[in-house]
Chain A
Amino acid sequence: MSNYKILVVDDEAGIRMGTRRILQNFKVDYPFMDEHIEFEVLEAATGEDALEIIDSQMPDIILLDNKLPGIQGIEVLEYVKRKMLDIVVVMITSYASLELAVKATRDGAYDFIPKPFTPQELRGSIENITKQLFLKRMTQKMNKEGKQIRFQFLSVLSHELKAPLNAIEGYLKIMQERQFGEALVSYDQMIDRSIERITGMRSLIMDLLDLTKIESGNPVQNFEEVDVAKIARASIDTMRPYAIQKDVDIHLNSRDSALMSADSKELEIIFNNLISNAVKYNKQGGRVDVFIKKEADFLTIKVSDSGIGLTEEDQENLFQDFFRVKNSKTRNITGSGLGLSIIKKIVEMYHGDITVESIPDQGSTFTVQLPVDREINS
């Protein structure tokens, strides 16, 4: 159970009393959170009193009349704003002119309650505000702890790790029970599928290791003058056997060298992921072109393929953790769904940019731009 403090600022004693009575036994429930919230009402007859109570008691919600004997309600609102206090301010006023509404909203008032109000109106309004405030605080708390993202990530991760295990276990059980007879050859396809799933799982684990390195909170890289073209060439050589198997040609289009200050391991991850995607999602007899171009401020890496391409919807989601393009052409292609999100994280560390252009059935081009000389990780 939580307790929210509501400060009523009004020079009319009747309004303050009424508010206290209306909210006395009022509770707001949060069904998803096993949480209900009760209220404690504080009172101030003037703006000056209000400021004092704000400083000493830190209310959660302020019900604020604008027309006060001394300083006006709007000044109390400005005070809350200026000190960046985590308080929801609701104006209660019978002078709810449009002008005031606009000004108060601009200054951060959350809502208006016109005076006079019925108990029902006040409770309804408080309920909404409370839920909004509760959620906001919960989100802030989770964001601060990185929990929300973490939670999402972990739940998808465990799904991605468990699915192949379940599949392999299922096949092994079928074999254990000899469901297709004694001959091993009857199980060939299941063995192939099991190996395929293990391969997929291994690449997921490798990608996770990359991701952990990037996110270890210690992004200090081994900076050195590196030749990007050389890294690209090494990466192409690594991918070559796979490309030959898929009947895809890889071409490097670059002048002799392209120097920049970077961590060569991170550039390797970028090239390996982009090139392996370009091969993986290509067509038989297709081609991959790698361009490297150094300009005054930027180094541009482009990887183009003649593959299956991406729809606009896929392009939008492409850089999210675990996102995979699902359609009839990709059904036999395995992958962790982490490659591009890893690249994006690296590119962001370099204050660079990654974009994609694609036409379905014709191919995709990924463009990475990295600043050549500048503070990194600042």
Chain B
Amino acid sequence: MKKTILIVDDDLDYLFQMKLKVQQFGFEVITAEGQKEAEHIIDTVRPDLAILDLMMESDDSGFILAYRIKRKYPDVPIIIATAVTAETGMTFNINADDNKQWIKADLYLDKGIRADQLQREIHKLLKI
């Protein structure tokens, strides 16, 4: 059975393009246009993996959403995809112990990532 990937982003064009890419990798895709919509979805659906934007309704929507998903489904891998590093110089090293406690993401990706790299990262997280 196809694995399901939840993609959340408030940029509808980016969401559409990301969905297309991930579908081409052979996955089922569910999309949400923001944190709130995504929270509704995870009430009833357990995705196999989630790709989240960081800044949506608020600047840290992605982190909050990641936290909620992990609380409900601790085993679902989460990728936070954002362009924030390149723009602000802020870095989040999710492997640092301090951050591990509160950033509930398994991988932190730049939005400009190439399709083949993205596919490789998804496969790695899903252990395919």
Contacts and interface: CB of A to CB of B under 8 A. Distances in A.
Interface in B3-19: 10-14, 17
Contact of A331 (B12, B17, B20, B84): B12
Contacts of A163: 11, 14, 83
Interface in B68-117: 83-84, 87-88, 111-112
Interface string A141-175: 00000000001000100110011001100110010
A158 B111 CA distance: 14
B54 to A, nearest CB: 10
A171 B18 CA distance: 11
Q: Which secondary structure dominates where chain A touches chain B?
A: helix
Interface in B26-57: 33-34, 55-57
Contacts of A166: 14, 83, 111-112
Contacts of A170: 13-14, 17
Contacts of A56: none
Contacts of B83: 159, 162-163, 166
A196 to B, nearest CB: 9
B57 A326 contact: yes
B87 A167 contact: no
Nearest to B34: A326
Contact of B17 (A162, A174, A326): A174
A163 B14 CA distance: 8
11 contacts: A159-B83, A162-B83, A166-B14, A166-B111, A167-B11, A167-B13, A170-B13, A171-B13, A326-B34, A326-B57, A331-B33
Interface of B: 10-14, 17, 20, 33-34, 55-57, 83-84, 87-88, 111-112
